Amino acid sequence: MYGWTGNILHLDLTKKNIEIENPSLDILNQYVGGKGFGGRYLRQCATLPWDHPDMVICIFTGPLSGSISPTSGRAHILSKSPLTGLVGDSSVGGKLATRLKRAGWDGIVITGKSKTPVGITIKDNLVEFKDATGLWGLDTEDVHKQIRPGNASLASIGPAAENGVRYASIIVDRYFAAGRSGLGLCLAEKKIKYLLINGTGHCKVKNQKKLKKAREDILRLTAASPALMGQFGFTCLGTGAVYDLMDNRRMMPTDNFSRTHFESASKLNAVAYTKSYAPKKHGCLGCHILCKKIGTENKASIAMPEFETMSHFTALIGCMDTKLVVKANELCNHFGMDTISAASTLACKREITGLDYTSDTILSLLNDIAFGRGEGKLLALGAKQYAKKMGNPQAAMAVKGMELPAYDPRGAYGMALGYALSTRGGCHLRAYPISHEIFRKPVATDRFSFSGKARIIKIAEDLNAIVDSLIACKFTFFAASLEEYASVYEAVTGIETNAQDLLQKGECIYYNERIINALNGFSAKDDDLPDRFFTEAGSSGNNIHIPPIDRDEFLDARKKYYGVRGLNDNGLPQKEKAQTLGLLWNNL
C-alpha cells in the first residue's frame, strides 16, 4: 500500500476506548481522504443532533500528505455544524496533516463525550488521553505556551468554544484556523481542549521519480502565475492582495452588503499592512506559496489578517483602522472564533441598531461574545439567529445560516449561484468561481451572466471536493489543474488515474454531502440568497454597473444546476443518481 498508511484511529471519549480500522485499498481509493472520508463517517450518523455523543468529529489527511507533493500539508476536519445544521468542515493548514500521517494514521474519528476536559496526544502509535482541566478556560495562545509543542502539531480551542459560540474555530499551530462551521464548539461539546500530534515515520510513495517530475510541472506552473507568485500576488502580500481588486470591481461588501464600494479601501489594503508590520512569509508545512503572513508588533510575532478579515472588519462594519483589524484578528484567533462570522454578526447588529462602532467598542464586543457576557450571548448565535431574535431577519446576510464572506454576489453571478448551492452554507470555497470571474483563469467568463454557470459551478464543486480529499490547496489551481494532480496521485499511490477519474470521485463526495443535508431537511427553499441581492442595486461606478440580481434568471440557473447535478426540482438527491455513483441510499 502506497500513499495511505491503511490505519484509521477511532477514539471513544465516553469509554476512553481506542480502536484501529484498516480499510481495504478499494475503500481508500474510493473515498481518497480528507473531505471524502469525513463524509463517509458523517453519513453514518447524519440525522443525529450535532451535540449528540455519537456524532463524529473527523480529522483526516490525504494520500498526498507527508510526501513532496506540492501544497499537500493541509488537513481536513469535519463534523455536523452547530451553526447551520449542515455538513460542517474546514481545510486547515499548519503541520497537522503531515505529523498525523508520519505518526502512521490516515485519520482520526472521534465519538463519545468526556466527563472532564481532555487532551489527546499522539506520538506515532502511542495514543493517550490527558487531563486538561487545568487548561480549560485558557485562550489558544496560552495553551500553546503551556504545552510548548516543539515539532509536534497542536490543535486547540479557546474560550469561545467553551462558552458556546456557534462559530467557534479550532486553532492549529498558533496561526491557522479551522473556521466557518463552528468546529471548535464540536470539540468543546466533547470536552476536548487540545490535540497534540507528532510522528517520526515516513510516508511510502510508489514512484518517487515520477512524483518528482509531476511536482516540478506544478511548481513551474505556479511560478508563472502572477496571482500566486507575482509582486502583488499571494506569496508577497498574502490573500489580502485581492483587497483593492474586489473594491475596484465594485464587489466589496460594505455596510452589511448595502453597498459594494468602500471609499477608504486604497488606504487599508495589503500594502498598508506590509508597511506597518513588515510581515514575513509563512505557510503550511512544505508549501512553496507561503500565503500566510506573520508580522511584528512590539517585538512580538503577530498573524496578519486574511483578505476576508481585512474586508469585513473595515468595509462591512464601517471602520477605517488597520490596527483594529490586526487586533480583532488576533483576539479571534486567541479566543478561537471565526473572523468572518464574528464581523458579519457585528455588521448585522450595526444595521439593526443604527449605531456605529468605535475600535474599542468592537474589541469589547468580541470579548463579550467569547466569554458569554451581556449582549455577547446573543451575538454568539451568529447573524441569522441574532437578526431573528431582534425581529429583523432580513438584516442577516447569510445562506443556510452561514454568514457570507467578502465577495458581493451582485458583482459575480457564479459566486451568487455558488453561495446559494454550497453544502455548508454561505461559502465561497465550495466552487470558488472567483478564479474565472475575477482572476479570469483558466478561462474568463462574463461575471454578470448566468449563462453556462450551472455546469461550471457543478464541475468546480466536484473539483474542490477532490482537492479537499487529496488534500491540496485550492490556490494552486489558479495555475495547475487536475491533470497535474492526477499524475501526482498516480505516482504516490501507484493507482492508474486521470483527471476525469479524480473529478468523478469529487462528484461522488459532493453528492454524498447533498444527501446528508437532505436527510436533515434542507431543500430548494434553502438554496437561496438574502432578498437584498434581488431588490437593491450595488454601488455602480468606475464604468461598472451593479444592478440587483434578476431573480428569474437566478432561479432558472439554479434549476439547470439541479439538472446537471442529478437532483430533482426541489433540489433533493435521487435514488438512481446515488446508486449510479455507488452511494448508499436513504429514503428522503
Which residues, 6+ apart, have CB-to-CB distance to 188 below 8 Å?
A: 157, 161, 162, 164, 168
Closest CA to 330 of 285, 362, 286, 372: 362
Tell me which H or E stretch contains 88: strand 87-92
Tell me which H or E stretch contains 342: helix 339-353
d(CA 551, CA 419): 15
What is the domain partition of the chain in residue ranges? 8-198
Distances (CA, A) of 324 to 280, 313, 363, 383, 563: 20, 8, 8, 21, 46
Q: All 3 cell numbers of residue 85?
A: 445544521
pTM, rounded to two decimals: 0.97
Which residues, 6+ apart, have CB-to-CB distance to 315 below 8 Å?
A: 247, 252, 253, 254, 255, 262, 265, 406
pLDDT tens per residue across all 588 residues of the chain: 999 999 999 999 999 999 999 999 999 999 999 999 999 999 999 999 999 999 999 999 999 999 999 999 999 999 999 999 999 999 999 999 999 999 999 999 999 999 999 999 999 999 999 999 999 999 999 999 999 999 999 999 999 999 999 999 999 999 999 999 999 999 999 999 999 999 999 999 999 999 999 999 999 999 998 888 887 788 888 899 999 999 999 999 999 999 999 999 999 999 999 999 999 989 888 888 888 899 998 888 999 999 999 999 999 999 999 999 999 999 999 999 999 999 999 999 999 999 999 999 999 999 999 999 999 999 999 999 999 999 999 999 999 999 999 999 999 999 999 999 999 999 999 999 988 898 887 788 999 999 999 999 999 999 999 999 999 999 899 899 999 999 999 999 999 999 999 999 999 999 999 999 999 999 999 999 999 999 999 999 989 999 999 999 999 999 999 999 999 999 999 999 999 999 988 776
d(CA 267, CA 256): 20
* Contact present, 363 and 317 (Cβ < 8 Å): no
The CATH code of the domain at 8-198 is 3.60.9.10
